[in-house]
């Protein structure tokens, strides 16, 4: 087995991986990822016991227990580039021997769930409701940097998206991944389900206009009308496709749960998004530990 060089796998003086500053023994097999560093404590407030509190840059990590279930909650920051860092380091913590710098012969499977916020792309998905993503459709290009074999279903969804939306593929080459069916089944009651589109930015890539014009006007309307094999686009944000893509390639079970804080069709914004997120945390933690 080939040794991974110090420049590729960076381990600090306390034996922790570079960006997260987490050691393998400090990570649980069930991981909740949140964008906002401040949301980590909002999740861990519901733990019965906390073993580790770690912080480095925008990456806060709390590991503890809900009942007998060990869980880590980690902040990723915003965007697919941060997901690339977090997921590669989570996988390294689980599946690389830090002493020998070699991939372990027996690989571990993490269960990773995003607790995030998002904008709805359907008029019938109200603010303060919750979405569980069946698929992640990426406009962010991250997975295009990795070598992998695409499934026929994933190719068909991406091609249908280009055809129906008229997307300029010189801007981006979309990709699609399904989420974990095992985890999706846990979030059955009280969650809208559908495709989550992941964008590489908040303003232009999500069709917002302030002072700059758009190269692809009418994006929200195009996304809202997309359909494929009885699937529709429910929402968009900046992380899910990267989570589903990297997670699937690494062999982990991944899911994305989002609180809808804006509806881009009705142009509404939540009057109390913090309360809605808290309800999502309580409800989704309960579903996750069953």
pLDDT, one tens digit per residue, over 228-254 is 999 999 999 999 999 999 999 999 999
The mean per-residue pLDDT over the stretch 98-118 comes to: 98
Q: To which CATH superfamily is domain 1-108 assigned?
A: Nucleoside phosphorylase domain (3.40.50.1580)
pLDDT at 210: 97
- Give yes or no for a contact between 164 and 222, defined as CB atoms under 8 angstroms apart: yes
pTM of structure: 0.96
- Confidence class of residue 221 from pLDDT cuts 50, 70 and 90? very high
Report percent pLDDT > 70 for the chain.
100
pLDDT of residue 79: 97
| Average of per-residue pLDDT across 180-196 | 96
Angle between helices 37-44 and 273-289 (to 10 degrees): 50
Q: Does position 278 have pLDDT exceeding 80, yes or no?
A: yes
Second-level CATH architecture of 115-290: 3-Layer(aba) Sandwich (3.40)
Q: Per-domain residue ranges for the chain?
A: 1-108, 115-290
Handedness of CA 34, 38, 42, 44 (dihedral sign): positive
- Give the mean model confidence (pLDDT) for residues 113-140: 98
What's 2's DSSP letter?
Answer: P
Mean residue pLDDT across the chain = 96
1-108 shares its CATH topology with 115-290: yes
* pLDDT tens for each residue of 18-49: 999 999 999 999 999 999 999 999 999 999 99
Question: What average pLDDT score do residues 269-273 get?
Answer: 98
pLDDT the model gives residue 200: 96
DSSP symbols for 39-75: HHHHHHTT-SEEEEEEEETTEEEEEEEETTEEEEEEE
């Amino acid at each position: 087995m080939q040794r991974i060089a110090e420049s590729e796998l960076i381990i600090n003086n306390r034996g922790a991986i570079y960006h997260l500053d987490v050691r393998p023994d400090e990570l649980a097999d069930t991981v909740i990822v949140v964008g906002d560093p401040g949301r980590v404590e909002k999740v861990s407030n519901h733990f019965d016991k906390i073993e580790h509190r770690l912080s480095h840059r925008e990456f806060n990590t709390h590991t503890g227990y809900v009942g007998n279930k060990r869980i880590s909650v980690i902040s990723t920051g915003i965007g697919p580039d941060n997901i690339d860092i977090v997921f590669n380091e989570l996988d390294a913590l689980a599946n690389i021997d830090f002493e020998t710098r070699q991939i372990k012969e027996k690989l571990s499977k993490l269960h990773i769930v995003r607790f995030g916020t998002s904008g709805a792309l359907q008029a019938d998905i109200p603010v303060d409701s919750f979405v569980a993503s069946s698929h992640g459709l990426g406009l962010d290009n991250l997975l295009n940097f990795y070598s992998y074999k695409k499934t026929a279903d994933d190719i068909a969804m991406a091609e249908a998206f280009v055809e129906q939306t008229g997307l300029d593929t010189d801007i981006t080459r979309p990709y699609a991944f399904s989420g974990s069916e095992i985890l999706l089944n846990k979030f059955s009651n009280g969650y809208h389900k559908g495709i989550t589109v992941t964008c590489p930015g908040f303003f232009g890539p999500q069709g917002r206009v302030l002072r700059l014009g758009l190269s692809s006007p009418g994006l929200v309307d195009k996304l809202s009308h997309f359909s494929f094999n009885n699937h529709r686009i429910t929402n968009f944000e900046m992380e899910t496709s990267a989570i589903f893509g990297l997670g699937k390639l690494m062999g982990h079970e991944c899911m994305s749960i989002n609180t809808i804080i804006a509806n881009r069709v009705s142009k509404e914004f939540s009057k109390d998004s913090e309360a809605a997120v808290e309800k999502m945390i309580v409800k989704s933690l309960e579903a996750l530990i069953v």
